[in-house]
A and B are shown apart, each in its own frame.
Chain A
């Protein structure tokens, strides 16, 4: 029973990381209507920036995460400006997806050149031991608790931002109807840039948490979690912020449960099978709105 509880807690922790990444996906998808394939690699860059800050320059963990957030935010804005913005209004929607794959490749390979393929062993940004319950039979690591708390804080902050600020309302408006938003005097380009900035900043936080929980960092670290986070975003309903959170948590729990009780090797396959079943049964996702396809 305690084992099961432990697995669930680990699953929620992993799910919180997925959720933070999925928030970035879902916002960008909702507003720019594109699958930012490179989002997972921004996580990896964030991980490397935290690593560089902490190990090479001796920053304290919080400063290192802040540094990574700023770096990733700039990276997000830059890639949007250079690679995605020129393709807005292109006749084929494959164009921007393939370009995003190119950006993903670019980020992986430039990290490969700078940091080499040797895995870096990441020191956790959290030094807290954690708590032990039930006479030490149930140990919860510090990083697990911090990750779960971080997930909740990020979700609440984002909800507040979107509901209460002008920029957030502008995001909602752009995601509903770009043309109408332009007519209302909203600067669509700026809003999309802001979305990329927030998504990439969140990716940096996710990168720090991911590498603290699974302390091996290579140029390919971000790719798989990135894809799984997209699965989480689809599961919860793409474009929906609470949906991304719910999808992330469900996916994290499903993955750790199947790793623990079914097979380590099949865990990924099960995660992807969930995506396929979801898209067949309820394509709009758990909390997504069903949109009528315009003819």
Chain B
């Protein structure tokens, strides 16, 4: 059987993820995995997933969204709320986590859809700043609400309150949600990553994906051949938000305390994921996975080597600027075309 070039590329990506999973599992079984390294496994998977989903908007749709962390926040809080409420019930853990995943994804998708309606009318810099604004609004509101139930019923407030009699505080303002069951593990996170890859790759390779890319390349031309720009933009944005919600579920069910703090859900996190996407190659799904995994894990692994980790963000930022200049500056492009022209016009393929 002859595989299409595209299919082959997809399978290489899945193979890389599975190989990584197998190597880690073998190391784990043979007892060669330090507990610190183990703690990195789930984050590596969910940041890779987040990078792939952001790439759908930045690379395939061509719009810069800086609100990805906001959708993660929505997914994290909605699913954790469910898990905390049903923690003591007789529901089996697997089912509970599955429902949590579905809830987080669905709620984030709903938010993505609702936010997409106003946001996708804008483009370029305005879109970037408005997605950032939405992300910050979500984070700030979730950090400010108090939700709890007691004998008098359910209370939702922007101010701290005391419960009457038997009851429980669910969201405790800036303290967030306490006691989220730590249901996520490396296997589930890997499965979600592969599922995300399948979904995103299939969107990209389908008629839908080509429509989305045509909007990126020339919106007016796309519109003139009858492509419904709003519909496809909404689709890409909503799918991306939904996957970000799934990432939020994995994130919140990896540690027991969930707070809407800036270092988890602020716009800096969105920018960090954007850095993964850019350094992995805008539009390259496999690149996003590899870049996210490497850039997240490497500095954590090198933490023992003194102050090297202090330099990592500095080095990333320099590489980020250099990559952007190399790939996009007109002067660099003509230079590359000149230099690589003799090799059968490879410069085009590289860009």
Contacts and interface: CB of A to CB of B under 8 A. Distances in A.
Interface of A: 29, 34-35, 83, 86-95, 97-99, 101-103, 105-106, 108-110, 112-113, 223, 227, 230-231, 234, 263, 265-266, 268-269, 272-273, 275-276, 279-280, 283, 295
B133 A272 contact: yes
B156 interface: no
B270 to A, nearest CB: 10
14 contacts: A29-B125, A35-B129, A90-B328, A94-B62, A98-B64, A98-B320, A102-B324, A105-B320, A112-B310, A113-B310, A263-B144, A269-B140, A273-B137, A283-B126
Interface in B298-338: 310-311, 313-314, 316-318, 320-321, 324-325, 327-332
Determine chain A's interface SS by DSSP, over half rule: helix
A87 B125 contact: no
Interface in B99-153: 118, 122, 124-126, 128-130, 132-134, 136-137, 140-141, 143-144
A98 B132 contact: no
Q: How large is the interface on B (under 10, 10 to 19, 20 to 34, 35 or more residues)?
A: 35 or more
Nearest to A90: B328
A35 B123 CA distance: 12
Interface centre among A29, A92, A98 (most CB of B within 10 A): A98
Going nearest first, the 5 A-B pairs with the smallest beta carbon separation are A272-B133, A95-B328, A105-B317, A102-B320, A35-B125
Contacts of A283: 122, 126
Contact of B330 (A90, A263, A275): A90
B220 interface: yes
B328 A268 contact: no
Contact of B321 (A106, A110, A280): A106
Contact of B129 (A112, A234, A263): A234
Nearest to B133: A272
B64 A94 contact: yes
Given A266-B144, A269-B141, A276-B134, A113 B328 contact: no
Contact of B136 (A90, A112, A269): A269
